[in-house]
Amino acid sequence: MKGYNMKSDQKIICLISIIINKKVTFSQKPPDPPKMKYSFNTEEEINQALNEIKAKDENSYTKLVELKKNNDPQFKSRLIGKYFALKRKEMFKKSNVNRKNRYSSRRIHANKKLNDLNKAYKDAKTDEEKTKIKKQIEEEALVVFTAELERRKKQIERTQKLIDQQKKRLETFEKDKDKYIERIVTKTTSI
């Protein structure tokens, strides 16, 4: 180790590594910082993000514009945070709509048929026609029922998954009792 060729912080790192018994090589490049999903490096990207935010949340937009005008160092992080939050909302909305559509499309289709059959039943003149239409109504009602049953089953499955997750979290929380108490003690004693 040639100490006279090294910078002061490199010397400190070397000394620390010797103490910990670890080898350090300075030829290696430091790892790249983690890439953020939304970075907004150019002015065009920033303006585009602001416009998207403006379309959905006017209050947040005005606050961000004020931060930008004042050259606030928090502007970029706030912009990224708000933009990410909006994108996440959109994602959840889409997934919920898709989930609902899977079951409701059958119900909607069946309900349309039921409406048509209702009109036909009212317009029917003979008892034979009425009994035929009644059978068709029963078939469509069964379709509506099965779609609703499926939806409810899936809803129960989702809630059960959430309950299981919460139970696991509770178990881990109970296991970490000592750590939790220790953390509170260290916080209160350090004040």
Instruction: Report which of 139, 153, 140 is spatially closest to residue 107, judged by C-alpha positions.
Output: 140
Same domain, 16 and 48: no
Domain count, the chain: 2
Same domain, 186 and 97: yes
Give the dihedral of Cα atoms 154, 159, 160, 162; nearest 10 deg. 130
Q: Check pLDDT > 80 for residue 91.
A: no
CB-CB contact of 75 with 60 (8 Å): no
Same domain, 24 and 97: no
User: Is residue 55 in some structural domain?
Assistant: yes
31-86 confidence digits (pLDDT tens): 554 445 566 778 888 888 888 888 888 888 888 888 888 888 888 888 888 888 88
What is residue 1's predicted lDDT score, i.e. its pLDDT? 45
pLDDT band at 169 (very low <50, low <70, confident <90, very high): very high
Per DSSP, 39 falls in state: -
Same domain, 24 and 53: no
What is residue 3's predicted lDDT score, i.e. its pLDDT? 47
User: Is residue 34 in some structural domain?
Assistant: no
**CA–CA separation, 97 and 138 (whole Å):** 28
Same domain, 163 and 116: yes
95-143 confidence digits (pLDDT tens): 655 555 555 666 677 777 788 888 888 888 888 888 998 898 888 888 8
Same domain, 14 and 54: no
Same domain, 6 and 91: no
Same domain, 9 and 53: no
What is residue 26's predicted lDDT score, i.e. its pLDDT? 47
Same domain, 21 and 71: no
Side chain identity at 63, as an amino acid letter?
Answer: K
**Range(s) of the domain holding residue 15:** 1-28
User: Is residue 35 in some structural domain?
Assistant: no
User: Is residue 46 in some structural domain?
Assistant: yes
Same domain, 102 and 153: yes
